[in-house]
Structure 1
Amino acid sequence: MNLLPISKLIGFFILICNLISLQCTTIGFHEKEKLSKMDFGKIQTVKICTFYEPGISMEEVDDLFSYWNKELALYKIKVQSIEPIEKERPGFYGSDILQYLYSIDLNDKCDRILYLKGRNWKDLIYEGFTLGIFAGIGLKFEIQGAVETRTNTRGYIKAKYISTLQLLFTSPKSTLVHEGYHLLGCGHQLFMEDCYKAIQNVKQLSNQENIEPNFFPTISGEGKKFTNRSQVNRVLKLE
């Protein structure tokens, strides 16, 4: 009996996973019955200080936030892009972007910081290379976005795509929803119940008396609670 090469089996498995992910939020499958029984309190606004790479239009920024808000309406949350600033990408790799975001303090206008990454000629070469690998063995190496887990307050997404193949598996909008869940304290899970609880917890935290006024708090990947901006800024300045 002929067996498929292991690389082909791995590629097939990843392809199936990617196709399945089209039917969920990419952070987990929704559980509508459990969601309907949860109380998320009153509507709250999360203020996002937004930086975007040249080549991304304000119309595209607004469209992304509009789509994100449709998802967050499930939890009585609204995100607001605060004074979007055009900013050249601080480096080629995602780690370069995050390192730059670490250097920016949360001010009294911001609860989270987001960078919208565009596309340049270096990206075109890299995307062609990674798509070639995907076509050959089924592995996708390109990272579409990330959120740091020490405070869950800073992240970036790839807001420009090059090909129909990439858009088949993801899009700037779905990537923003994915990373947006991380900015609210969600991890990765197969089903969304744990994420619902994480969002519920951070909203309940926002109602405590010791919260800095006009600040939507955050909970790190390790469960550390941040009730004011100075706590967040101190942690990220340690490196």
Structure 2
Amino acid sequence: MFKLYPSLLLFLFHCTTIGFHQTSVRESMSFGEEATVRVCVITEPGIDPEEIHSLFEAWNEELSLYRIKTQSIPLGIMERPGFYGSDIIEYLRNKQMPEFCDRLLYLKGRTWGDIVYEVFTLGLFVGVGVKLEIQGAVETYTNTKGYIKAKYISTLQLLSTSPKSTLIHEGYHLLGCGHQLFMKECYERIRDVKLLLTDPNRDPNFFPNINANGRKILKRPI
């Protein structure tokens, strides 16, 4: 019989959600008028438009809870700026965000090197409970730039997450949410981010944010 170890429970929770939904709490809050977030997308070779459409469709279904929708804007196709996720984050942090973007998202593909790394990290996780592989991340300086792994097929990954659930997870970070057991704080953060749309100091051509330290991001970062 399959035994679910505590480390695996933590792995499943961390990868698939920002926290557990609290429907009654969310429905008691007002999220204002519908608003659109323009998400500029850079993809690795091998990720087709249908896959991107499917990812954003799932993300928009989740964001409909807050009267938010995303608009996907393709920026182009490029080879990965480095093997590790930290390399991608560093590239994004230093990349100028175009004036028609509110968020910047990199869709990571799957290479032979990734497959070898997956086998190694999954073996390490099963053997000693150490998880090295990360499915996505968002920089915490502005919480406006991030990446997700858009392709993977290992059995353990598919049991715990998917490209769609990874995008939803990182999408919450792109709206200023952190990790919590329950979603109340995240709901409040999304509400507060949307309230910034009326801030007189906001760049009117930018969907604002609140970063991991609570700083208001009212103007488009570099």
User: TM (normalized to structure 2)?
Assistant: 0.94
What is the DSSP-based 3-state SS (H/G/I as helix, E as strand, rest coil) of the residue aligned with 1:133?
helix
Aligned to 1:154: 145
Amino-acid identity (%): 59
Hey, what's the Cα distance between the residues in 2 that align with 1:129 and 1:168? 18
- The reply on whether 1:169 has 2:156 as its aligned counterpart is no
Aligned to 1:52: 43
Aligned to 1:182: 173
Hey, what's the Cα distance between the residues in 2 that align with 1:68 and 1:166? 19
- The reply on whether 1:100 has 2:101 as its aligned counterpart is no
**RMSD, matched Cα:** 1.8
**2:9 corresponds to which of 13, 16, 21:** 16
Hey, what's the Cα distance between the residues in 2 that align with 1:17 and 1:204? 33
What is the DSSP-based 3-state SS (H/G/I as helix, E as strand, rest coil) of the residue aligned with 1:206?
helix
Structure 1 position 150, deviation (Å)? 0.7
Hey, what's the Cα distance between the residues in 2 that align with 1:45 and 1:64? 16
Hey, what's the Cα distance between the residues in 1 that align with 2:182 and 2:217? 26
In 1, are the aligned partners of 2:42 and 2:77 still within 8 Å (CA)?
Answer: yes
* Partner deviation per Cα, 1:181-215 (whole Å, 9 max, x = no partner): 00000000000000000000000011122211221
Alpha carbons of structure 1 residues 155 and 96: separation in structure 2 relative to 1, 3 Å? same
* Partner deviation per Cα, 1:118-138 (whole Å, 9 max, x = no partner): 010110110010111122123
Hey, what's the Cα distance between the residues in 2 that align with 1:177 and 1:147? 12
Aligned to 1:78: 69
Aligned to 2:193: 202
Structure with bigger gyration radius: 1
Hey, what's the Cα distance between the residues in 2 that align with 1:137 and 1:182? 29
Unaligned runs of 5+ in 2: none
Structure 1 position 25, deviation (Å)? 5.6
Hey, what's the Cα distance between the residues in 1 that align with 2:35 and 2:151? 29
Hey, what's the Cα distance between the residues in 1 that align with 2:125 and 2:98? 41
Structure 1 position 69, deviation (Å)? 0.3
In 2, are the aligned partners of 1:12 and 1:138 still within 8 Å (CA)?
Answer: no
Aligned to 2:121: 130
**1:17 is aligned with what amino acid?**
L
Alignment length (residue pairs): 220
- The reply on whether 1:41 has 2:20 as its aligned counterpart is no
Moved more, 217-226 or 147-156: 217-226
In 1, are the aligned partners of 2:16 and 2:161 still within 8 Å (CA)?
Answer: no
What is the DSSP-based 3-state SS (H/G/I as helix, E as strand, rest coil) of the residue aligned with 1:113?
strand
What is the DSSP-based 3-state SS (H/G/I as helix, E as strand, rest coil) of the residue aligned with 1:46?
strand
